[in-house]
Structures are given as C-alpha cells and as structure tokens.
Amino acid sequence: MRVDRPLDRDGTEYAVLEPERDQRYRLSIRSQLASAPAGRVRITVDALDRSTASGRRTWLAEEAETEAAVAYARGDAEGRREALSAYLRALPHWRASHEDRREALALYSIGVLHRLLGEPPAALDQARRAEA
C-alpha cells in the first residue's frame, strides 16, 4: 500500500491495516523523491478496540483517511476527488471522538484538496474552519 498526505513533505503519515491472519509483515518506507536526503522515521503500532464506540469511530476515521492517502498518492485529479470524499467521511468521526488535532488536520487536508482541484472558495472556507 502506498500512502501520501496532501499536507507537506514532512510530517505524520497514518495508515490503518487489518492483518488477515497472524504472521510476519514487512513495512517498507521510501520517499517519493529519489533525490530526497536520508531521514529518520518513527513507527508506532496501535491496536484499535472496535468493540467500543470510541474505537469504532477511530477505526472508521483512520480507515477513511488511509483510503484518502492511497487515492492522493496516485497523483491525479480523480485520486484527489476520491481523497476529498474520504476525508469528508472521516471528519464526523474525528469530531465525535473529540480528536481536535485530527479533526483540524482533516479540515486542512480538505481545504488543500479543494485548492488543488481548482475550487478556491471551498478551500478558503475549509482553511477558516481548520483555524477555529
């Protein structure tokens, strides 16, 4: 799975994966830019308990944002539209979970995607909501 976020070149990348069975998995991390200098990576693995309302909301939000990152990484307009749709699906789950930082990041990502799709008024509206 290849993921990327529309925010910047540095920062946190999230991905939600549900292993099909207990076994070893390999994680490979590479920059999209061949000329990128070597960097540092910190990997955190969290188990989400989907038996609770909070865990289900977090799972749904993370799953939608992973879909957004995969779509955005394709680098085309259709991928951006799919990413926008996925971030819009994640937003109410972050809001209901009171995850203010993740809600703001989703709002900002929505704004960036509107800008990249040539929709400046919607981008500006989302940027204002993310600041609030």
Single pTM value for the model: 0.77
Handedness of CA 104, 105, 108, 114 (dihedral sign): negative
Alpha-carbon radius of gyration of the chain: 15
Q: What angle do CA 90, 123, 95 make, to 5 degrees?
A: 25
| DSSP character at residue 61 | H
Q: In tens digits, what is the pLDDT along the chain, a chain of 132 residues?
A: 667 666 655 667 777 777 777 888 787 777 767 787 777 777 788 888 889 999 999 999 999 998 998 899 888 999 999 999 999 999 999 999 999 989 988 988 998 899 899 988 877 777 677 666
Helix axes 100-116, 77-97, angle to 10 degrees: 160
DSSP structure string for 103-131: HHHHHHHHHHHHHHTT-HHHHHHHHHHHH
